[in-house]
Amino acid sequence: MKKAELMDYDKALELFEPVLGFEVHVELNTKTKMFCGCANEFGQGANTNTCPTCLGLPGGLPQVNAQAIESSIRLGLALGCEIAEYSRFARKNYFYPDTAKNFQTSQYDEPIAFDGQLTIELESGRLVTVDIERAHMEDDAGKLTHVGGATGRIQGADYSLVDYNRGGVPLVEIVTQMIEGGEADSPEIGRTYVAAIREIVKALGVSNARMEEGNVRCDANVSLRPRGSNVLGTRTETKNVNSLRSVERAVRYEIQRQAALLHAGGTITQETRHWHEDTGITSAGRPKSDADDYRYFPEPDLVPVAPSREWVEELRATLPEPPAARRKRLQADWGFANLEFQDVVNSDLLDAVEATIAAGAAPQAARKWWTGEVARLANVSGVSADSLVQPAQVAALIELVVAGTLTDRLARQVLEGVIAGEGTPLEVVESRGLAVVSDDGALIAAIDEALAAQPDVLAKIRDGKVQAAGAVIGAVMKAMRGQADAARVRELVLERAGAAE
Amino acid sequence: MTNLIKRSAADLSELLADRSVSSVEVTQAHLDQIAAIETGVHAFLHVAGDAALAAAARIDARRAAGEVLGPLAGVPIAIKDVLATIDMPSTAGSRILEGWIPPYDATVVRRVRDAGLIPLGKTNMDEFAMGSSTEFSAYGPTHNPWDFDRIPGGSGGGSAAAVSSFEAPLALGSDTGGSIRQPAAVTGSVGVKPTYGGVSRYGSIALASSLDQVGPVTRTVLDAALLHDVIGGHDPLDSTSLTDTWPSMAAAARAGLADGALKGVRVGVVKELGGDGFQAGVAQRFTETLALLAAAGAEIVEVSAPNFEYAIAAYYLILPAEASSNLARFDSVRFGIRVNPEDGPLTSERVMAATRDAGFGPEVKRRIILGTYALSAGYYDAYYGSAQKVRTLIQRDFDAAFAKVDVLVSPSAPTTAFKFGEKMADPMAMYLNDVTTIPANLAGIPGMSLPMGLAPEDGLPVGLQIMAPAKMDARLYSFGAAVEALLEASWGHTLLSQAPELAPKEITEGAV
Residues A223 and A288 in one domain: yes
- Whether pLDDT at B64 is above 80: yes
> Mean pLDDT throughout A383-410?
89
- Whether pLDDT at A81 is above 90: yes
Final residue before a domain boundary, out of A270, A290, A312: A312
Q: Say if CB A300 and CB B196 are below 8 A apart.
A: no
Residue B337 lies in a domain: no
Q: Which pLDDT band, with edges at 50, 70 and 90, does A291 fall under?
A: low
Of B467, B147, B412, residue with least CA distance to B282:
B412
Beta strands in A177-278 (DSSP E): 216-226, 236-241, 271-276
> Mean pLDDT throughout B464-481?
98
In the prediction, which pLDDT does B378 show? 86
Residue B319 lies in a domain: no
Whether residue A58 and residue B349 make contact (CB cut-off 8 A), yes or no, is: no
CATH number reported for the structural domain that contains residue A481 in this entry = 1.10.10.410
Separation of alpha carbons A106 and A89, rounded Å? 6
Is B179 among the catalytic positions? yes
Question: What residue type is assigned to position B42 of the chain?
Answer: H
State which H helix or E strand residue A174 sits in. Answer: strand A170-176
Report CA-CA distances (Å) from B412 to A247, B41, B173, B393, B463. Answer: 63, 23, 16, 22, 5
Separation of alpha carbons B124 and B119, rounded Å? 15
Residues A258 and A406 in one domain: no
Q: Does A55 touch chain B (CB under 8 A)?
A: yes
Q: Is the dihedral of CA B326, A293, A237, A17 positive or negative?
A: negative
> Mean pLDDT throughout B486-501?
96
- Whether pLDDT at A453 is above 70: yes
Of B363, B497, B499, B421, residue with least CA distance to B149:
B421
Q: Which pLDDT band, with edges at 50, 70 and 90, does B507 fall under?
A: very low
Residues A444 and A427 in one domain: no
Separation of alpha carbons A264 and A258, rounded Å? 10
Interface residues from chain B to A (CB-CB < 8 Å): 83-84, 90, 92, 97, 100, 102-104, 106, 201-206, 208-210, 236-240, 321-322, 324-325, 328-331, 333-335, 348-349, 352, 372, 375-377, 380, 384
Q: Which pLDDT band, with edges at 50, 70 and 90, does A495 fall under?
A: confident
* Among A24-28, A411-415, A478-482, B225-229, the least confident range: A478-482
Per cent of chain B over pLDDT 70 is 98
- Whether pLDDT at B511 is above 50: no
* Among A19-33, B57-71, B412-426, the least confident range: B412-426
* Among B2-11, B26-35, B161-170, the least confident range: B2-11
Whether residue A95 and residue B328 make contact (CB cut-off 8 A), yes or no, is: yes
CATH number reported for the structural domain that contains residue B444 in this entry = 3.90.1300.10
**Among all residues of chain A, which has the CA nearest to that of B374?**
A295
∠ CA B155-B95-B123, nearest 5°, is 40
Final residue before a domain boundary, out of A373, A402, A432: A432
Q: Report which DSSP code applies to B382.
A: I
Over chain A, what is the mean pLDDT?
Answer: 92
Question: What crossing angle do the helices spanning B23-41 and B9-17 adopt, rounded to 10°?
Answer: 150
B54 three-class SS: helix
pLDDT greater at residue A130 or residue A468 = A130
Residues A354 and A405 in one domain: yes
Interval B364-402: pLDDT, tens? 999 999 999 999 988 999 999 999 999 999 999 999 999
Q: Does A306 touch chain B (CB under 8 A)?
A: no
Q: Which pLDDT band, with edges at 50, 70 and 90, does B47 fall under?
A: very high
Interval A90-125: pLDDT, tens? 999 999 999 999 999 999 999 999 999 999 999 898
Q: Which pLDDT band, with edges at 50, 70 and 90, does A88 fall under?
A: very high
> Considering the entire predicted model, what is its pTM?
0.88
In the prediction, which pLDDT does B506 show? 43
Rg, chain B, Cα only: 22
Interval A205-242: pLDDT, tens? 999 999 988 999 999 999 999 999 999 999 999 998 98
Overall domain count for chain B? 1
Residues A345 and A466 in one domain: no
Q: Which pLDDT band, with edges at 50, 70 and 90, does A500 fall under?
A: very low
Residues A428 and A444 in one domain: no
Residue B379 lies in a domain: no
Of B225, B217, B223, residue with least CA distance to B154:
B217
Separation of alpha carbons B113 and B85, rounded Å? 11
Residue B360 lies in a domain: no
Final residue before a domain boundary, out of A285, A312, A339: A312
Residues A66 and A149 in one domain: yes
Contacts of A291 in chain B (CB under 8 A): 377
Residue B354 lies in a domain: no
Residue B245 lies in a domain: yes
Question: Alpha helices of A36-179 — where are they, by DSSP H?
Answer: 66-78
- Whether pLDDT at B509 is above 50: no
Domain with A7, as residue range(s), is 3-312
- Whether pLDDT at A152 is above 80: no
Overall domain count for chain A? 3
Residue B406 lies in a domain: yes
In the prediction, which pLDDT does A48 show? 95
In the prediction, which pLDDT does B503 show? 65
Give the distance from CA A390 to its chain's centroid: 20
Residues A208 and A237 in one domain: yes
φ and ψ at B45, to 5 degrees? -95, -20
Burial tier of A337 (Cβ tally within 10 Å: 0-12, 13-18, 19+): exposed
Residues A16 and A70 in one domain: yes
In the prediction, which pLDDT does B399 show? 98
> Mean pLDDT throughout A380-397?
91
Residue B275 lies in a domain: yes
Q: Which pLDDT band, with edges at 50, 70 and 90, does B216 fall under?
A: very high
**Among all residues of chain B, which has the CA nearest to that of A97?**
B333
Instruction: Indicate the Cα dihedral angle A36, A38, A40, A42, nearest 10°.
Output: -140
For chain B, the distance separating the N- and C-terminal CA atoms, rounded to the nearest angstrom, is 5
Domain with B63, as residue range(s), is 4-308+391-498
* Among A272-286, A458-472, B458-472, the least confident range: A458-472
User: Left if phi > 0, otherwise alpha if psi is -120 to 50, otherwise beta: which for A308?
Assistant: beta
Burial tier of B174 (Cβ tally within 10 Å: 0-12, 13-18, 19+): buried
Is B497 among the catalytic positions? no
